[in-house]
Amino acid sequence: MIEDCFILTKDDRKRIRRNFAEALIAKMEGEASSLKCLPSFLPRPSGTECGDYLALDFGGSNVRAMTVRLANGQADILRMKKMSLRRVGSLDYTSGDVEAKDLFGIIADLILAVVPDQKTVALGHTFSFPAEQLSVGEARLIKWTKEFAVKGVVGEKVNRLLAEAFARRGTDSVRPVAIINDTVGTLLASAYRAPDTTIGSICGTGHNTAAVLPDGMIYNLESGNFDGLPVTEYDLALDQMSLAPNEQRLEKMSAGHYLGKIVTLAAADKLDCLRAGAELTGEDLGLILNDGGQSLRTADLIERRTGTRISQSDCAFLRRLTRAVVARSAQMVACTYLGILDVIDPSHTEHHTIAVDGSLFGKMPMYAKEVERVLAEGLADVEATADLVWAGDGSGIGGAVAAALAETHRGERREYRTFAESMVALYGSKGEA
């Protein structure tokens, strides 16, 4: 049956776990790896950081600014403003006609709306676009994604552009001191409350993971690019149809943006009505998994998408296929977490908290339970334990924690320039990252 090709055996899961650990070790030793391991230049918080900090969550067309109060492991959002860049006057960030000063000017105004009165406040910026991390406080945009095409930002230091926007407004009340990826933010937000957090992950439209590695620094692993996976003909077809073939293998097999595409490609081998260009979405998959009884909602869904009413047996097939594709995603992700634990806790004696954010983890039926099941299976014979926790506002609170850490460690020299350099003291590697 078609759905059987998506089922991972226990041996498959062990192999993925081992392959991920080996890819991580290879990177740590300066060898070729599908993992990037980008440094955040930040350690885990102690939980004792206190004060009011600003956080900016800029990862797409919806932007949030907030004031967050940190008080010994408790984080409270005091003020928050958000906006959609799609609805700001004549600004069209997809056109290529908008300048950097226009975009960051609008964002600066949003931040100033939540600045505490008569205070100068440090800002942590969660910037979820491909960027080269230069230091705690600065990153250079590599390329825009998510439809953005604003001029004058690619290749530039992002927080400098933001600081220039504040300077044009004649204010020095905001100091951008940290810039992080959303996976790092998820880890920081959880670690502020639970100091044993070692992994932060996004399981939503996209997929990526950050982890605390043996040098004590948090790294954005860029795990979506991991390629040590068993693939099907449908995965290969999707990859070749994508904008970046042969890249982001794990993400294309596990992230919400792609799961509906995979189900559509596979189902089209049995259901003729899905061959004409109709495509299922992640929300559609959730509806199919939740549909019971006579599968009427599934039949209605396919009729809306294709104009064809499918039979109850075809609905049952579609549900089995969807379940297999979604379960595979959860299992692969869990195997990567186990691979990380194999590297950072090789004796398997510690307790770990794994913080996860994202709509796939939070909303897709059975997903979180399947991740939890595979984690428990993988740790059944060792002393180590892992708690899987929902971190629903990591991008916001994590930004504030990053700002607090940047202020706390200001002046210290935590300045590893490359990943390989950060591991030389631990492993004696002479290789280049």
Q: So where are the chain's domains? A: 2-37+193-390, 40-192+393-409+417-423
The pLDDT of residue 417 is 44
The pLDDT of residue 421 is 56
The pLDDT of residue 174 is 95
The pLDDT of residue 169 is 94
Residue 104 has φ and ψ, to the nearest 5°, of: -75, -20
What is the DSSP code (8-state) at residue 293? T
The pLDDT of residue 427 is 44
The pLDDT of residue 157 is 97
What is the DSSP code (8-state) at residue 48? -
As a whole number of angstroms, the distance between CA 169 and CA 146 comes to 28
Question: For the whole model, what pTM was predicted?
Answer: 0.91
The pLDDT of residue 90 is 72
The pLDDT of residue 411 is 55
The pLDDT of residue 43 is 95
What residue has token string 């960027």? 131
The CATH T-level fold of domain 2-37+193-390 is: Hexokinase; domain 1 (3.40.367)
What is the mean pLDDT, run by run of 10 residues, along the chain of 433 residues? 96 98 96 94 95 93 93 94 80 84 94 87 93 93 86 96 96 95 95 96 94 96 96 96 90 95 97 90 95 88 94 96 98 98 97 96 96 97 95 87 90 48 47 34
Q: List the CATH code of the domain at 40-192+393-409+417-423.
A: 3.30.420.40
The pLDDT of residue 259 is 97
3-state SS, 86-148, equals: HHCCCCCCCCCCCEHHHHHHHHHHHHHCCCCCCCCEEEEEEECCCEEEEECCEEEECCCCCCC
As a whole number of angstroms, the distance between CA 44 and CA 140 comes to 23
As a whole number of angstroms, the distance between CA 333 and CA 351 comes to 19
What is the DSSP code (8-state) at residue 212? E
The pLDDT of residue 87 is 66
